[in-house]
Every structure is written in structure tokens, then in C-alpha cells.
């Protein structure tokens, strides 16, 4: 990036959040420098290959050839940037608490590269207090002062991958700053990019807004999953119940049962909040209960399959095909995927499990043998004792699967209204 250019934006972390955001900044006329430590992502970008299901190769080619975007591995150009937006992962650590190492590393690298009055914006989801308690001390460590050597803001990313109903710019953008001046700066910048900017009084408020909205979703989905189990016991079709509920014109939210709650946000953010609550000597009981409910779904599905296949509790030697490995439809992300949790659970019960997913050609998990997506041809389907529909990707040949499989366990209500030769068990129905 040339030194004489102004209004240069850095985006740190070019994943599901950072890359589309970088594209948006480019669309709005900014020069953008993407920084990511993953050389495979940078190679893919240079080869004009998309690694995100929401972006096409053509869009990547346009971005890379447009002259306004560059992707690098190094932080050396940080002093030349006016705004730096951090979009790195915030996963759970081995104890189920916050792992902020990616955030801390990126902030440290920014500081070491050189502070120059830049506005630094954290977009990663995290517990209330992170910006002031973790980022601010890290940035100030060598005597740098907020409002002078750097400005610091928090704005949670609220994107819903795979959802094409809303333009990225249409999502109201919650913004906050460590000082009034920091807030003014982020309002001024994001007002150019987003249709609606929602300033709040503190970074803690903005952080809380993000983890609370995701916790609410987590609890609601868990509640529907609990009701699904009750419906199974009572032989009531939960999907029909939900349709009936939704005829009420107000006061309802749309949540559906499924194989747990997945993705990098919904199952993770509530645990960040719970962790912080414990620091405050409080507890988030709804979250604890919701997690317990979700964690038990795979076991329940495995038990139903064992009952159907062997009238027992184990699946030893049974061959099962899982259709869909991602945490939700039309998104190529298997992180915290309920489908993957189910796959592991079926294996623990003794089953031999393969998977098919048009968006995930292969899966290699730490410490496990790599798996390759198998085909859905007639002979293959017939060779499995059961097929589990775990993710409802658009275009999956449900009728074909029903026609050529022996037993289908449908966790997403994909088979409703479609008939075939297979025996069907539908989650949340008791049949
Ligand atoms: N994925 C979503 O749907 C979504 C939605 C809203 C919010 N979020 C939040 O946004 C944040 C990012 O999530 P994501 O899904 O984009 O993650 P991601 O894993 O897809 O992308 C993060 C990127 O950061 C890079 N990275 C890690 N450490 C780095 C460092 N020190 N310097 C430079 N690059 C580094 C990784 O290589 C990766 O490419 C998380 O906090 C997540 O909770 C995600």
C-alpha cells in the first residue's frame, strides 16, 4: 500500500467475518489491507479461490484484481493504517472458558508494529469487559495513551452466514468507544459503511449486547429441543406444533429443533458470558441448563437409532451415513457443528460412520483419521443400515435418499411430505 494514500483500513483475520467485511470496505471506496496468519487462506486468495461458502471465486477475483485490496501475513504496514478492525477467533479453551489468545496476539502485534493514532476496532464476540480489561492495558503497555497514540472501539459482528435475506450494510451496527473521542471516530467511520449505526454508552454495553443476543438464541433453541424430546415421548409432531404456534401474529420467535446448536458463535458466546458471570460471583443458570439440554441431543438420537436397528442401546457394527456435516445449511463451517457431535456420538456407540456433505469434501480433525465425503448413489445408500439427515443444505436429494435407504433419521424435518421406501424417524415426533 502506498504511503501517500489516506483512509486505509486494516482487517485482521480474513475468515467468515473479516473477509466479507474487507469486501464491504472496498465497496465503500476504502483501500483495505487484510492481515491473516494462515498462509493457506492467502494462497487461496491469490489463486482467486473462495474458501467461504458465501463468496464465489469470481467475487474473490474481482476483489484481488480491483486494486483496492491486498492480503498479507505481516503486521509491518500497521503504522500506515487509519483504522484496524480485528476479526480473529474467540473460541473456548480446554476448560470451556474464553480463549482470548488470538485477540491478545493480534493486539500485541499491532502495538509492536507501531501505534500512530489509529482507530482499533474489535469485532470478535467476547464477554463484557474485554476491550477495557484486556485490549486497553495491552495497547497502553509501552506508555501509549488512548486518544493519542491509539483510539479503541468495540463493534460486534452480527452477520448470519448463509442468510441472503439481508444486505450486509442493512444490519444495524452497534458501536462503542473507550472514550467519547473513540466513539465519535467509530461512528464517523461506520456511518459511511452501514445504513444504521447504533452508538451505545460503553464497550461493555456493546459486548454484552452481542453475547446476550446470542445467549437468548441459544436458550430458545435449547428449549425447543427440550420440547422435541417431550413431543417424542407423547407422540406429538413438534414441527406441526411449531407451525400452529406461528399462526399467532405477535410474540413468537422462530426456533426449530435439530442436532444441537452449532457454529463459532451460538454455542460459544453464552459460555463466555457464564464465565464472566462467575468472575462476578453470579451464575447464568438458564445458560447452564440450555447447554445441558443441547449436549444430550446426540445421545438421544443415538439411543433412538440403536432401538430401531438392534432393539438395544449400542450400535456396534452398524453402518451409518450422516448427510450434512456443517453446523447449518449452506455454510461450509464445521466448527462446533451439531452434526459432527452426532457423528462422534454414533462412533462412540460402536457404529461405523461415513458422511456426505456437498460443501465439505473432507474433514481432518486433530488426532483423528481424515474422512472424505462419500457419494449418494443408489448402491451406496442401500449399503448403510441407516442414513441420518443432519444438515438441511439446499438441493440435497431427499426423495432419492428416501427411495434408496433402509432407514432414515431426519433431524431437520426435511422428509415431511415426501415419501419413499425407507422407514423414517423424525426428530421431535416419536415416529
Ligand atoms: N462466523 C460467524 O458467523 C460469526 C458471526 C458473528 C461474529 N463472529 C465472531 O467473529 C470472530 C471471528 O470469527 P470467524 O468466524 O470469522 O473466524 P474464522 O476462524 O473464520 O476467521 C478468523 C481468521 O483470523 C485469523 N487469525 C487468527 N489469529 C490471527 C492473528 N493473530 N493475526 C491475524 N490473523 C489471525 C485466522 O487465520 C482466520 O483466518 C469470532 O469472535 C466470532 O465469534 C463470527
Strand positions, DSSP E, 239-350 = 319-323
The set of cell numbers assigned to 294 is 443441547
Contacts of 193 (CB under 8 A, 6+ apart): 24, 25, 28, 169, 173
Using the atom order of ligand 1, give the atom closest to the CA of residue 105. 31
Q: What is the pLDDT of residue 367?
A: 81
Q: What is the pLDDT of residue 168?
A: 85
Task: For residue 295, count CB atoms less than 10 angstroms from its CB and return exposed for 0-12, middle for 13-18, buried for 19 or more.
Answer: middle
Q: What is the pLDDT of residue 7?
A: 82
d(C-alpha 197, C-alpha 92), whole Å = 29
Residue 10 pairs with which residues in a beta bridge? 33, 84
Q: At what angle do helices 297-310 and 285-295 cross, to 10 degrees?
A: 20
- Is residue 174 within 8 Å of 198, Cβ to Cβ? yes
Q: What is the pLDDT of residue 264?
A: 86
Nearest-CA residue for ligand 1 atom 1 is 16
Using the atom order of ligand 1, give the atom closest to the CA of residue 16. 16
The answer, yes or no, to whether residue 120 has pLDDT greater than 90, is yes
CA dihedral (405, 365, 262, 349) positive or negative: positive
Q: Give tens-digit pLDDT for 55-86.
A: 999 999 999 999 999 999 999 999 999 999 99
- Is residue 422 within 8 Å of 410, Cβ to Cβ? no
Could you tell me the pTM of the whole model? 0.93
Q: What is the pLDDT of residue 338?
A: 94
- Is residue 176 within 8 Å of 203, Cβ to Cβ? yes
User: Ligand 1 pocket: which residues have CB below 6 Å?
Assistant: 12-18, 35-38, 41, 87-90, 102, 105-106, 124-125, 157, 159, 161, 264-265
Report the mean per-residue pLDDT for the chain: 95
Q: What is the pLDDT of residue 344?
A: 95
Is 265 designated active site? yes
Q: What is the pLDDT of residue 369?
A: 87
Rounded to the nearest angstrom, the distance between the alpha carbon of 151 and the centre of ligand 1 is: 22
Q: Give tens-digit pLDDT for 350-378.
A: 999 999 999 999 998 888 889 999 999 99
Rounded to the nearest angstrom, the distance between the alpha carbon of 21 and the centre of ligand 1 is: 12
Rounded to the nearest angstrom, the distance between the alpha carbon of 370 and the centre of ligand 1 is: 23
- Is residue 143 within 8 Å of 137, Cβ to Cβ? no
Q: Which of 15, 52, 102, 332 to mutate to test the pocket of ligand 1 (most atoms within 8 A of CB)?
A: 15
Q: Give tens-digit pLDDT for 155-164.
A: 999 988 888 7
d(C-alpha 200, C-alpha 212), whole Å = 15
d(C-alpha 85, C-alpha 356), whole Å = 36
Strand pairing class (69-72; 31-35): parallel
Q: What is the pLDDT of residue 2?
A: 33
Q: Give tens-digit pLDDT for 48-57.
A: 999 999 999 9
**Section 126-140 average pLDDT:** 98
Q: Give tens-digit pLDDT for 203-219.
A: 999 999 999 999 999 99
d(C-alpha 74, C-alpha 322), whole Å = 40
Provide the CA 267 distance to its chain's centre, in angstroms. Answer: 9
Rounded to the nearest angstrom, the distance between the alpha carbon of 157 and the centre of ligand 1 is: 10
Question: In which residue are the cell numbers 425407507 written?
Answer: 422
- Is residue 26 within 8 Å of 63, Cβ to Cβ? yes
Proportion of the chain in helix, strand, coil states, percent, rounded to 5: 40, 15, 45
Using the atom order of ligand 1, give the atom closest to the CA of residue 90. 41
Amino acid at each position: 500500500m502506498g504511503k501517500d494514500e489516506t483512509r486505509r483500513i486494516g482487517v485482521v483475520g480474513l475468515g467468515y467475518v473479516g473477509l466479507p467485511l474487507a469486501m464491504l470496505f472496498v465497496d465503500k471506496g476504502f483501500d483495505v489491507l487484510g492481515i491473516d496468519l494462515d498462509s493457506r487462506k492467502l494462497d487461496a486468495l491469490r489463486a482467486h479461490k473462495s474458501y467461504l461458502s458465501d463468496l464465489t471465486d469470481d467475487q474473490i477475483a474481482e476483489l484481488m484484481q480491483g486494486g483496492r485490496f491486498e492480503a498479507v501475513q505481516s503486521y509491518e504496514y500497521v503504522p500506515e493504517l487509519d483504522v484496524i478492525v480485528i476479526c480473529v477467533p474467540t473460541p473456548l479453551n480446554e476448560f470451556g472458558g474464553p480463549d482470548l489468545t488470538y485477540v491478545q496476539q493480534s493486539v500485541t502485534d499491532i502495538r509492536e508494529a507501531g501505534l500512530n493514532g489509529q482507530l482499533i476496532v474489535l469485532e470478535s464476540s467476547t464477554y463484557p469487559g474485554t476491550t477495557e480489561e484486556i485490549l486497553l492495558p495491552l495497547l497502553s503497555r509501552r506508555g501509549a495513551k488512548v486518544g493519542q497514540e491509539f483510539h479503541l472501539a468495540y463493534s460486534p459482528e452480527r452477520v448470519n452466514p448463509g442468510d441472503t435475506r439481508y444486505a450486509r450494510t442493512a444490519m444495524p451496527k452497534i458501536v462503542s468507544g473507550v472514550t467519547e473521542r473513540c466513539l465519535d471516530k467509530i461512528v464517523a467511520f461506520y456511518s459511511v459503511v452501514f445504513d444504521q449505526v447504533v452508538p451505545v454508552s460503553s464497550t461493555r454495553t456493546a459486548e454484552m449486547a452481542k453475547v446476550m443476543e446470542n445467549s437468548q438464541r441459544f436458550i430458545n433453541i435449547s428449549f425447543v429441543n427440550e420440547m422435541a424430546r417431550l413431543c417424542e415421548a407423547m407422540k406429538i409432531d413438534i414441527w406441526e406444533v411449531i407451525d400452529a404456534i406461528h399462526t399467532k401474529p405477535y410474540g413468537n420467535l422462530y426456533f426449530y429443533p435439530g442436532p444441537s446448536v452449532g457454529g463459532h458463535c451460538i454455542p460459544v458466546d453464552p459460555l463466555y458470558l457464564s464465565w464472566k458471570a462467575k468472575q462476578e460471583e453470579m451464575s447464568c443458570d438458564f445458560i447452564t441448563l440450555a447447554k445441558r439440554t443441547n449436549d444430550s441431543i446426540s445421545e438421544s438420537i443415538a439411543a433412538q437409532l440403536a432401538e430401531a436397528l438392534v432393539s438395544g442401546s449400542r450400535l456396534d457394527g452398524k453402518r451409518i451415513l450422516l448427510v450434512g456435516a456443517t453446523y447449518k445449511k449452506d455454510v461450509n463451517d464445521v466448527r462446533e457443528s451439531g452434526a459432527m457431535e452426532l457423528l462422534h456420538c454414533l462412533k462412540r456407540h460402536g457404529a461405523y460412520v461415513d458422511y456426505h456433505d456437498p460443501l465439505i469434501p473432507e474433514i481432518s480433525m486433530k488426532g483423528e483419521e481424515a474422512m472424505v465425503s462419500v457419494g449418494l448413489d443408489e448402491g451406496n445408500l442401500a449399503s448403510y443400515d441407516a442414513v441420518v439427515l443432519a444438515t438441511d443444505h439446499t438441493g440435497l436429494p431427499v426423495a432419492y435418499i428416501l427411495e434408496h435407504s433402509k432407514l432414515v433419521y431426519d433431524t431437520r424435518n426435511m422428509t415431511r411430505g415426501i415419501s419413499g421406501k425407507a422407514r423414517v424417524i423424525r426428530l421431535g415426533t416419536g415416529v
